[in-house]
């Protein structure tokens, strides 16, 4: 009787451990998706744009669109860097090369600074 009890206990733990080992999920790619980026306090007022970030060949890439001008084609980002849990987007506009370093606020929000002068927020578009 003792051998049967030990067998069933071992079987139970084996099944339980096997079940736990299969519940692991792939890590979430935090920055991938569509973001509504708002640059606050520019001389022309607050500026909004939609930035779409994707991962291609292991690297982040993206493009920007102006929601106020839906017929204007998307402006590709020059570069997107990801390091130390932060993301920096690089883009050109009106003859200027600019960058915005972002850091995570929570699961759907980012914050950053444009040219160390203007506060920038980004909210995930769902």
pTM: 0.75
- Per-residue pLDDT of 1-29, as tens digits, reads 555 555 555 555 556 555 554 444 445 78
Domain-embedded: residue 107: yes
User: What pLDDT score does 26 carry?
Assistant: 45
What's the domain range around 74? 33-124
Contact in structure between 114 and 40 (CB atoms under 8 Å) = no
Is residue 4 a part of any domain in this protein? no
Write the CATH number for 65: 2.40.128.120
CA distance to 8, 33, 74, 87, 90, per residue, from 64 (Å): 60, 12, 6, 15, 11
Number of domains in the chain: 1
- pLDDT tens per residue across span 69-92: 888 889 999 999 999 889 999 999
Is residue 1 a part of any domain in this protein? no
Has residue 113 been placed in a domain?
A: yes
Q: Is 18 inside any structural domain? A: no
Instruction: Give the span between the Cα atoms of 59 and 31, in whole angstroms.
Output: 11
């Amino acid at each position: 009787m003792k051998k049967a009890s030990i067998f069933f206990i071992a079987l139970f733990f084996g099944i339980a451990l096997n079940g736990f080992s299969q519940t692991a999920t792939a890590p979430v790619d935090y920055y991938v998706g569509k973001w509504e980026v708002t640059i606050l306090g520019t001389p022309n007022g607050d500026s909004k744009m939609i930035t779409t970030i994707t991962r291609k060949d292991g690297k982040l890439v993206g493009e920007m669109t102006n929601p106020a001008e839906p017929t204007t084609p998307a402006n590709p980002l020059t570069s997107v860097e990801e390091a130390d849990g932060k993301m920096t987007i690089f883009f050109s506009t009106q003859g200027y090369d600019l960058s915005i370093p972002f850091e995570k606020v929570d699961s759907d929000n980012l914050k950053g600074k444009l040219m160390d002068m203007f506060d920038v927020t980004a909210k995930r578009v769902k």
